[in-house]
Amino acid sequence: MTDITQKKPIAAIATPVGEGGIAVIRVSGLEAIATVNEAFKGKDLTKQDSHTVHFGKIMNKQNLPVDEVLVTLFHSPKSYTGEETVEISCHGGVLVTQSVLETILALGVRSAEPGEFTQRAFLNGKLDLDQAEAVADLIHAKSSKAVDAAHQQLEGRLGEHIKKFRQQIIDATAMVELELDFIEEDVEFANKEQLQKLLEDLDTEIAELLETYETGRLVKDGVKTVLIGRPNAGKSTLLNTLVGSDRAIVTEIAGTTRDTIDADWSYDGLLFKLIDTAGLRETQDVVEAEGVKRSQKAFEQADLVIYLKDLSQSFTDQERKEIADFQSRAKETPFILIGTKADIELEGGWRTEFDLKISALEGEKIKDLKKLLKDRALENKHYDASSLLVTSTRHRDALQKTKEHVDSALRALSQGMTGDFLSIDLRAALKELGTITGEITNEDVLDSIFSRFCIGK
Ligand code: GDP
């Protein structure tokens, strides 16, 4: 582990702002305990063991009590940040909490920036960079599958893979160097095959991990699900039925949904970001025209497209053409054709295969629809609950670059290039891997990662 550096103390409220039973103020850094002790009336905190809790009062500069508190002490390096840390649990009122924080700040402690505690934890080697990112993912997770994915990463599962890849590259480098040493002695050939096998295996393993990204992205960010169809097809009604509240305005006047309306909906642990689009039709209305444009954009960025057709209205040729057109434009994106208002369906065959006919009003086939949405969203995607998923674009990009360097080394090998060339590729691959766990990093990357955090984390 890296040596712990204790920086000047920082403090922040670590619990959400608002009223609650208790709130926690976290203080971390050099002499954090002695500093809090200056405002603490109770035992002498500087004489207490690590991981102990003490009851007392926080007193202000005028020696008036601010609040009754419990303080928990963490000696360095056995804390989240690795630094000396005090967590003050006070009463959870907005003003009380703020007053306790201000009392601590008045002792010369600085307000923490968002994510600064976690950043210190990373710099002190308490967490790898991918684990620090997982902390933010966990806090922002909006579905149980997203929580699972963040936990896997927080436990270091991604880090384990990266360490294994690192070792494989180091082994390959050793073989290349061995080859350089014995170049005169004809050991080259056997060695080359072995080296090739090692690099090919590595290449496959990286590719397999990369393949999980598509699922990882859906699990972490949610499945962008776009509802399209003619005005009055029943889009808003379906969205409301799924979400279970009156999120979208439902009326009988065609063209009510003028903008896209988004709502988060979770099913079986997977988050769907439902986007109800303005009815797709030519329009003279400026506001509505803007809405139609946005619907087109939402369609292009969708992970799942649902086209709704009102079964109480006959099919026009133009509508059939429109559906076929959308279907072909959706390309790889799963496209679902749903017949709506099955309760008042027109008599007569449709000559069109619907994936499902539903009635949102009567709750008919809604369960089947939910299951269908999940199945189609994850179709052709690798997913099993225990598998590790790459969920971040940063990690995907670094893995992709690593793979390119390994590919390049394999090409160099097959073209009979000298070991020096191979070494260059392998070193570059190692460097890319190091950016994932944070052995290699720069300020900009760190800033962008830690700015995603809330204050107090
Ligand atoms: P949108 O323009 O596509 O968003 O359509 P709406 O959701 O606003 O629905 C248009 C009209 O159809 C409203 O009067 C709804 O009450 C009605 N509607 C929606 N779904 C059903 C259904 O399943 N059965 C029946 N009978 N009417 C429905």
Which residue's CA is minimally distant from atom 17 of ligand 1? Answer: 234
Q: Give the span between the Cα atoms of 451 and 449, in whole angstroms.
A: 6
Report pLDDT for 247: 59
- Identify which of 12, 226, 250, 243 has the alpha carbon closest to the alpha carbon of residue 115: 12
Task: Report the atom number in ligand 1 closest to the C-alpha of 231.
Answer: 2
Half-sphere exposure for 111 (CA within 13 Å, toward CB): 9
Tens-binned pLDDT, residue by residue, of the chain (457 aa):
567 889 999 999 999 888 889 999 999 999 999 999 999 999 999 999 999 999 999 999 999 999 999 999 999 999 999 999 999 999 999 999 999 999 999 999 999 999 999 999 999 999 999 999 999 999 899 899 999 999 999 999 999 999 999 999 999 998 887 766 655 555 454 578 889 999 999 999 999 999 999 999 999 999 999 999 888 999 989 998 998 865 555 555 555 555 567 888 999 999 999 988 865 555 555 555 665 677 778 888 999 999 999 999 988 888 888 899 989 998 889 999 999 999 999 887 777 789 999 999 898 999 999 999 999 999 877 777 677 899 999 999 999 999 999 999 999 999 988 888 899 999 999 999 999 999 888 888 888 888 888 877 8
Q: Is 449 a member of any domain? A: no
- Are 400 and 310 within one domain? no
Report pLDDT for 130: 94
Q: Is 174 a member of any domain? A: yes
Structural domain containing residue 397: 136-212+389-437
* Residue 222 beta carbon below 6 angstroms from any ligand 1 atom: no
C-alpha radius of gyration, the chain, whole number: 29
Distance 252 CA to ligand 1 centre (A): 7
Q: Give the span between the Cα atoms of 381 and 374, in whole angstroms.
A: 11
Give the strand pairing for 85-92 and 65-74.
antiparallel
- Are 172 and 262 within one domain? no
Q: Roughly what angle, to the nearest 10 degrees, separates helices 188-211 and 213-221?
A: 30
Tally of domains within the chain: 3
Is cis: bond before 77, omega within 30 of 0?
Answer: yes
Report pLDDT for 347: 82
Which residue's CA is minimally distant from atom 24 of ligand 1? Answer: 341
Report pLDDT for 296: 78
Binding site membership for Mg(2+): which residues?
A: 236, 257
Distance 239 CA to ligand 1 centre (A): 11
Report pLDDT for 178: 72
CA 275 from chain centre, in angstroms, equals: 20
Q: List the Cα angle 204/208/211 in 5-degree steps.
A: 135
Distance 346 CA to ligand 1 centre (A): 15
Q: Is 153 a member of any domain? A: yes
Long-range CB contacts (within 8 A, 24+) of 174-181 = 176/419, 176/422, 176/423, 176/426, 177/419, 177/423, 179/419, 180/418, 180/419, 180/420
- Are 252 and 371 within one domain? yes
Q: Is 334 a member of any domain? A: yes
- Are 363 and 289 within one domain? yes
Q: Is 350 a member of any domain? A: yes
Q: Which residues pair with 22 in a beta bridge?
A: 91
Distance 232 CA to ligand 1 centre (A): 6
- Are 235 and 363 within one domain? yes
Q: Give the span between the Cα atoms of 131 and 138, in whole angstroms.
A: 10
- Are 204 and 241 within one domain? no
Note the residue count of the chain: 457
Six token digits for residue 149 = 């994915």
Report pLDDT for 444: 84
Q: How far is CA 362 from CA 230, 237, 239, 366, in A?
A: 21, 11, 14, 9
Which residue's CA is minimally distant from atom 6 of ligand 1? Answer: 234
* CA torsion, ordered 443, 444, 447, 449, to nearest 10 deg: -110
CATH number at residue 254: 3.40.50.300
- Are 34 and 121 within one domain? yes
Task: Report the atom number in ligand 1 closest to the C-alpha of 240.
Answer: 7
- Are 239 and 345 within one domain? yes
Q: Is 447 a member of any domain? A: no
Report pLDDT for 408: 96
* Residue 235 beta carbon below 6 angstroms from any ligand 1 atom: yes
Give, for ligand 1, the residue of 226, 230, 232 to mutate: max count of ligand atoms closer than 8 Å to Cβ.
232
Which residue's CA is minimally distant from atom 8 of ligand 1? Answer: 250
- Are 239 and 364 within one domain? yes
CATH number at residue 409: 1.20.120.430
- Are 231 and 347 within one domain? yes
Give, for ligand 1, the residue of 250, 311, 346, 365 to mutate: max count of ligand atoms closer than 8 Å to Cβ.
250
- Are 181 and 206 within one domain? yes
Give the strand pairing for 10-13 and 20-28.
antiparallel
Q: Is 100 a member of any domain? A: yes
Six token digits for residue 197 = 């096998």
- Are 288 and 307 within one domain? yes
* Residue 250 beta carbon below 6 angstroms from any ligand 1 atom: yes
Backbone angles phi, psi at 28, to 5 degrees: -140, 140
Q: Is 445 a member of any domain? A: no
Report pLDDT for 295: 72
Taking a C-beta distance cutoff of 8 angstroms, is the pair 374, 136 a contact? no
CATH number at residue 68: 3.30.1360.120
Report pLDDT for 349: 72
* Residue 359 beta carbon below 6 angstroms from any ligand 1 atom: yes
- Residue in the structure block whose two tokens are 């959308």: 326
